[in-house]
Each structure stands twice: as structure tokens, then as C-alpha cells.
Structure 1
Amino acid sequence: MIQRPTRPPRAPEAAARPAARLVAAPGGSSLRRALPALGWFTAVRAAGLLVLAAWCAAERRSPHQLLSARWDSLWYSDIARHGYHWPGYVATATTRGAGARSHLAFFPLLPWLERGIGALTGLAPADAGLAVSAVAALTAAWGIHTVAERSSGRRAAAVLVVLWAALPIGILLSMAYSEALFTALAAWALHGLLRGHWLRAGLLTALAGLTRVSAVALIAAVWVCAAAALWERRGGWPRILAGALLAPAGWLGYVLWTGGPVAYLRVQGAWGNGFDGGWAYGRYIWRQLSGSGLLTGAGVLVFVGLVLWAYWCCLRRRLPLALLVYTGVLTALALGAQAYFNSKPRLLLPAFPLLLPLALYLAGLRPARTTAVLALLALASAVYGAIWLLGPGPP
């Protein structure tokens, strides 16, 4: 009698491998698998807009104006209409890149899209910016789901998407800002790295480099992963090198156009957004703790502690190298920037892997409890977003 061969036992090293690396995405289209999460994402963001609209109606203010024509949205719209330098603009010094409150602090991809969409549809730049953010936010949510599904499973991926939508500053995803666009490019670039699609990762990183200065975190992820792949002598080294060389093209091209890194740093410094490794941030916390802002200082310390603890959890779970490098550099840039405290959560908005440990925990609860927690967070995000925009607003 012929016996059926048995499966060989698992090697000890395979058994000891982190669970996050053993999760395989199920078959079928990534978009079809992400649709339920995208539906919940849309519901959370729609709830935030509805609360904002109702609050604005009570105060006789315009939600459209708050979302499309305040703070950075105005600067992007001005660039879309007039370019970076136009007659009559006097806030920039004569030496390019060395002025105070210069438009050069804002990277060009969003205003380019605003101008192009406006030319095709007749929309005003601000309204085109809202359209870009709406599409980009959904694209980012899809990319976040696909990245998380590959490393942590479908349920955790869905929870992560809802958590990202329900962040206290999630209202930024519905504004004519560049955060949604940058996160969409970053998520799909990271997905390209996880799949070994080096040219796609390099191209998307180059586009991200035309969107925000924080694209250096994505460039670092591409370079470190490329170096690891070459060290391990994986195949396809021409594609790896091509992706690594393409990645910084957008960021480097724009920074050189402004006059070089030193000139761009002067532009950022004039906005109070330079990088000093956290020295100014530390002095701000100390002033709060040693003065009358004890509660504020303690709250800031709790915030910083939670961010660092979340990254430590990512390290302990041994998330993929691309996610760890991207999140680590982005966190260092956010906490080390001179920008005042209100801008820190905004700078960390694209750092979605920081939410993965919490998403994994919530995904392990009973569905009813997970749903209740996410619903409470979505409600809090909607209320906080309305208060934020009707009050101090985003920096």
C-alpha cells in the first residue's frame, strides 16, 4: 500500500519568524478587499463634515471658506494662480529663496494639480484643491489598507484605515492641504517597496518629493531598502539602482531650484519651521512646565511619550524595514522641527504606521467592542475638527 507523503516539519527559524511577516494578503483585487474599509473611511470623514456644517450654520459661518480658503490653502491657491513670483508681491526678498514668508516654502505638486484641474474644469484653484484632497484621501486610505494587509492582516488593515480617518486632526484630509496627497503617494510608494517594485516606488517617491519637504523620510526608506536588497544580493539590481536614483529627483530638483538646501532652510526658518533637533520644542515644554502652563506642558509630554511609545511598539513587532525607516525619520522630523506645538500632529498625519500597534490590539477584540471604540473616536474627531477649524485652526 502506497502511503501518502507527509509534509516536512517547519524549520525552527521559520517558526520563530515574526507573525507580522507571515501574513499573506488573500487573493483577489486589493481594491475589492479594501472596499469595506473605504466605506467606513468615507462615513467617518462625512460625519466630520456634517458636524462642521451644522456648527458653521449655528455660527453663520461658511464651512467652504474654512476648508478651502484659509491658512496654507490660500498660499497654494496663490501659487496656482500666479506662480511663485509675480509683479507686486513684496513679501519675498530679491534673492530667490532668502525671503521672509516666501511662497517657496510650499512645494509645487498640489498647486500644479489645482491649476491643471482648473484649466480643464473651470474650477477655482481652491475648489480644485478640495477635489484633489478628496480623491487623494481615498487613494491614501486604499494604499494604507493594502500596506497594512500585507504586514498585519485584513482586519487590522481595516481598523487602521478607520483609526487614520478618525484622528483628531482628520479634518485636514478634507481641506485643500497637501497632507492627503502626500500620504497617498507615500502609502503606494511603501507598497511598491514591500512588493519589490523599485521603479514604481522610486517614481512615487519623486512625486512625493514635489509635494512636501518631509519626503526625505520616504527617500530614506527607499535608499535603506535598496541598500539591504543589494547587500543580500537579490536579483534585479539595475531596477533597484534605478529606483534609488529616481527617488530623490523631485525633492532635490525643487530644493535646487529654490537656490539650494541652505536657501531653502532659510525660507523654512523665516516661517519658523526650521529643524533644530527638538531644541526649540524642548525649550517650549520647559517654559510651560516651569511657568503657568503646567497642564499644557504635561499634555505635550504625554503626546511625545505616546508617539515614541507607538514607534517602540512598531520596532518590537518588527514591522517591515520600509515602514520602520519611513516612520522613524518622519517622527524625528516632526518632533525635531522648530514649528510650534499645534503643527506637530499635522506633521505626523502621514505617519500612519504609528497606528498599527493600536489597530492590531483593537482588531483582536470582539467586533462589538472594536466597533464601539471606533465609533466613539469618530465622533470625537468630528467634534474636535469643528472646534479646531472654528477656533485656532490648523497651522
Structure 2
Amino acid sequence: MLTLGTAVATDSPRRSGVVRQALPALAAYLAVRATGLAVLTVLAHRAHRPVVKLLSAYDGGWYLGIATNGYNTSITYAGGQLVRTNVAFFPLFPELIRALAAIGVPAAYAGIALAAVSGVAAAWGIFRVGAEIHSPRLGVMLAALWGVLPHALVQNMVYAESLFTALCAWALWSVLTRRWLLAGVLTLAAGLTRPTAVVLVLAVGLSCLVAVVRRADGWRPWAGWVLAPLGLVAFWGWCATKLQRLDAWFWMQNAGWHSEFDFGADTARSLVKVVRGQQRLGYVVTAAVLLISIALLVVLLVRRQAPWPLALFAAGAVLLVVLQGGGYFHAKGRFLLSDFPLLIPIGAALIKLDRRLQIALLVVLAVLSGWYGSYLALEWRLSP
């Protein structure tokens, strides 16, 4: 069993040479993402579609709109329906785009660059988590696997997923290494990035409380516990002030974006349609990703392959995606991108294989991921 704060003594990262030890993981991640982007570039060229526009499309347009024009906090109705506004999107990612645009970088390019850098930071954090709980070999494999997920193209789009995953990975690593203050700060930032940070707040906050109960590390767990939820609370409070109702953000999500918790009813209906062959490829792949994620979570928990904060984060993220409804079934695979602990059972199995076979599998997966991401960008008419 892998427990909090443990690692394989002969194979764990040392404090010195941190960057050097991460290089294999970063190289693997960059290689698989370069492969996926190369596939997109070829297919986009054949379709006469600019790659930059593809990478900044869909939700990227909303983020770029916030970065360029700010938030729209007006409340208007059309045909008796609330008109959706961009307050559904959290502020850290577009504000970082705005900061880059302020020094002369075109907003779309700033968003793409920010996503790419965040992807590298996420891969690094994932590596550190894998190395901490098992070995650098597992860390390298987890970073590479994260880069070949079916929806991995989103890691290079003007989406907040890469930034959010980076913050989650480093926050969880901070918990594992008992850096409570850093964990709190990173969780606060995650709370300004995506609403699913509620799961990270739970995992980090509970870890801090356990340390407090055990009277470990003095005041730092207290500080981490206080800081962790502040990002979410701050943005939701801002929304409440601007829209003049306490449940403002949730109300806009429900009435404007038709996204709500329906206790899995929409997920169940969509899965039934997929089984009956009534859905397109995007739904079929999403259904497969969702079912595999649930299976991996069961394996992760039964085999106790991760410390409990990672397991809690993984379980909470899956539960959140399953319970969310409102017609966004096609996006559930993307919503699970940040749930990297689910890759631990796969990574633990793959590192036992011959190195050449590992590389061959990753190349195949990178090409398939690139093809599917290209399909979503070029053919799919909904958000990836």
C-alpha cells in the first residue's frame, strides 16, 4: 500500500537536480503532444483550416472575450430564456491572457502559449506526484499518458484545463510532501480557474485538518486550510455582488447554460443512447472514457495504489462528472482531464513492460489522440 508521505527510497526524486530528474517526463510529454499537434496540422492543412483558429475556437472564444472585453454581468432575456453570459467562466486563465496581451502578444497566441506552458507545468507536477508515491519511472509514464488522452488536444487549446491540472498536480504534491502553505495557495489559485476545484478544496482541506488534529507542522496546516477555499469563495462572492443574488453563479449555470446536478440522470440517458447505437463518435468516445474512468477508480481504490488525498481527489472528480447533467455529456471526457490519479493503475502496469513496447504504445496512442482531437476540432460541432 502506498501511504501519504512515502516513496521508494532508492528511486525517489532528491531535492537536488529537480529539473534534471524531470527532463525525461517533460521530454516524453512534449514528444507525444508534438505528435498529436503534427497530426492536427496535417489534417487542418488538408481541410484548409488555420491551426491557430482551431486551437482558439469553442470555449476559447469565451476566454478570449473575457481577456479582451471583461465580464458581461448584464441580465437579459430573449424568448423568455435567460441569455447566457461569460460569468460561467472563472477568471484566472483569461486574466493571465490579458496580462500577456498587455505586453503586445495577440490574445489568441497568448492563450495558446499559456495553455502550452501550463501543460508542461502540469506534466511536471504529475511526474512529481508519481515519483513521490512510487518511482520516477511511474512519474514519467503518468506524464506521457496524460499527454495521449483522447481529449488531450484541449491541453493546447485556449482552455483552462492545462492550467487547472497543473495547479491540482502541484497542490496534491504539496500535500504529499507536507508543504501546507503552498498547497493552500495553489488550491486558492485553482479555485479561480475552474469550478471543479471544489474537489481539490475538499482533498487539500481535509488533509490540512488531519495534520492539525495530529498537531503536525505547527501553524502551516491551519494556513493551508484557510487559504484553500478562498479562490472559489472570492469568485462566487464577486458574482453574487455583480448579479445581486447569493446563488448568482449557480443560477447562471442553470438558467443560462442549462448545466445542473441531476444526480446522474442525463449521464445514464446518454449512456443508454450510446449502447443503442444512437449517438455519434464523440459521444461513443466520451462514454468509453467515462466507463473506463469509473473502472480505473475502482482499481485505484481496491488496490490502494494511491495515498488517500489522491484517491479522494480522483473519486470526487469522477463523481462530479457523473452527477452533472444539462446536455453536456459530450464534454465529460474533457472535464476528466485533470483527474490524472486515474492513470496510476495504467502507468503501474505499463512500467513493467519492455521499454521498446512502452514507446511503441505511446506513439500509437499519441497518433490516435491527435486524430481524435483533429476530429473534434474539424468535424465536431460542439465544444470538445
Instruction: Settle same-fold status: TM greater than 0.5.
Output: yes
Matches for 1:75-94 after TM superposition, within 5 Å: 75-85=62-72, 92-93=75-76
Q: Give the drift of 1:256.
A: 1.2
- Give the 3 Å change call, closer, same or farther, for CA 201–43 of structure 1 in structure 2: same
1:228 is displaced (CA, Å) by: 1.8
Aligned to 1:180: 162
Please state if 1:311 is matched with 2:297.
yes
Give the 3-state SS of the residue equivalent to 1:213 in structure 2: coil
Rounded to whole Å, the distance in 1 between the matches of 2:7 and 2:179 is: 20
Q: Which residue of 2 aligns with 1:118?
A: 101
1:301 and 1:175, CA in 2 relative to 1: closer, same or farther beyond 3 A? closer
CA distance in 1, matches of 2:93, 2:286: 31
Q: Corresponding residue for 1:169?
A: 151
Mapped partners of 2:294, 2:203: distance in 1: 19
**Cα separation, partners in 2 of 1:213 and 1:246, compared to 1, 3 Å:** same
* Counterpart for residue 348 of structure 1: 336
CA–CA distance in 1 between the matches of 2:289 and 2:322?
11
Shift of 1:189: 0.8
2:313 match: secondary structure: helix
One-letter amino acid of the structure 2 residue matched with residue 382 of structure 1? G
CA distance in 2 between counterparts of 1:301 and 1:134 reads: 27
Question: What amino acid does structure 2 have at the position aligned with 1:310?
Answer: L
Q: Which amino acid aligns with 1:169?
A: H
**Aligned match of 1:199:** 181
- 1:1-395 pair list within 5 angstroms: 21-24=6-9, 25-27=12-14, 28-68=16-56, 70-85=57-72, 92-93=75-76, 99-120=82-103, 122-236=104-218, 238-259=219-240, 262-269=247-254, 270-289=256-275, 292=278, 302-315=288-301, 316-338=303-325, 339-392=327-380, 394-395=383-384
Distance in 1 between the 2:253 and 2:233 partners?
16
What is the DSSP-based 3-state SS (H/G/I as helix, E as strand, rest coil) of the residue aligned with 2:193? Answer: coil
Q: Once the 2 structures are TM-superposed, how far is the Cα of residue 261 of structure 1 from its aligned partner?
A: 5.9
- Per-residue deviation at 1:207? 0.6
**C-alpha deviation, 1:289, in angstroms:** 4.6
Cα distance between partner residues in 2 of 1:62 and 1:300:
26
Cα distance in 2 for partners of 1:295, 1:257 equals 39
* Secondary structure, counterpart of 2:215 in structure 1: coil
Q: Report how far residue 180 of structure 1 moved.
A: 0.5
- Alpha-carbon distance between aligned partners in 2 of 1:297 and 1:64, rounded to the nearest angstrom: 25
Name the aligned partner's letter for residue 240 of structure 1: P
Instruction: Determine the C-alpha separation between the residues in 2 that align with 1:294 and 1:387.
Output: 12
The whole-number CA distance in structure 1 between the counterparts of 2:28 and 2:281 is: 35
Shift in Å, 1:40: 1.5
Alignment deviations for residues 314-336 of structure 1 (CA, whole Å, 9 cap, x no partner): 21224112211111111111111
Question: Which entry has the higher C-alpha Rg, 1 or 2?
Answer: 1
Contact preservation (8 Å) 1:20, 1:152: no
- Alignment deviations for residues 292-340 of structure 1 (CA, whole Å, 9 cap, x no partner): 4599988766543321111122212241122111111111111111142
Percent identity over the alignment is 36
Alpha-carbon RMSD across the aligned residues, in angstroms, is 2.4
Question: In structure 2, what is the Cα distance between the partners aligned to 1:295 and 1:178?
Answer: 24
How far is the alpha carbon of 1:284 from its aligned partner?
A: 2.7
Give the distance between the partners of 1:296 and 1:53, measured in 2 at CA. Answer: 20
Preserved CA contact (<8 Å) 1:20 1:318:
no
Rounded Cα–Cα distance in structure 2 between residues aligned with 1:307 and 1:36: 26
Amino acid at match of 2:260: G
Hey, what's the Cα distance between the residues in 2 that align with 1:356 and 1:67?
29
TM-score (norm 1): 0.87
One-letter amino acid of the structure 2 residue matched with residue 39 of structure 1: A
3-state DSSP of counterpart to 1:61 = coil
Task: Structure 1: give runs of 5+ residues left out of the alignment.
Answer: 1-15
Summarize the Cα distance change of 1:324–1:59 in structure 2 as closer, same or farther, 3 Å threshold: same
Which deviations, in whole Å up to 9, do the C-alpha atoms of 1:78-105 show, x marking residues without a partner?
Answer: 111111138xxx7x438xxx95311100
Whole-angstrom distance in 1 between the partners of 2:237 and 2:125: 30
1:36-85 per-position Cα deviation (integer Å, ceiling 9, x unaligned): 111121111111111111111111111111002x1111111111111113
Count of aligned pairs between the two proteins: 370
User: How many Å apart are 1:370 and its aligned residue?
Assistant: 1.4
User: TM-score normalised to the size of structure 2?
Assistant: 0.90
What do residues 254-289 of structure 1 show as CA deviations (whole Å, max 9, x unaligned)? Answer: 011111662211211221322222122113333555
Alpha carbons of 1:375 and 1:356: their partners in 2 closer, same or farther (altered >3 Å)?
same
Structure 1 residue 20: Cα displacement: 9.8
Question: Would the aligned equivalents of 1:49 and 1:382 in 2 still touch at CA under 8 Å?
Answer: yes
**Contact 2:126 / 2:139 at 8 angstroms: preserved in 1?**
yes
Query: Is the CA contact 1:76–1:110 (under 8 Å) kept in the aligned structure 2?
Result: yes
Pair 319,261 (structure 1): closer, same or farther in 2 beyond 3 Å:
farther
Relative to 1, partners in 2 of residues 1:39 and 1:294: Cα closer, same or farther, differing over 3 Å?
Answer: closer
The 2-side partners of 1:296 and 1:353 are apart by 24
Q: Secondary structure at the match of 2:318?
A: helix
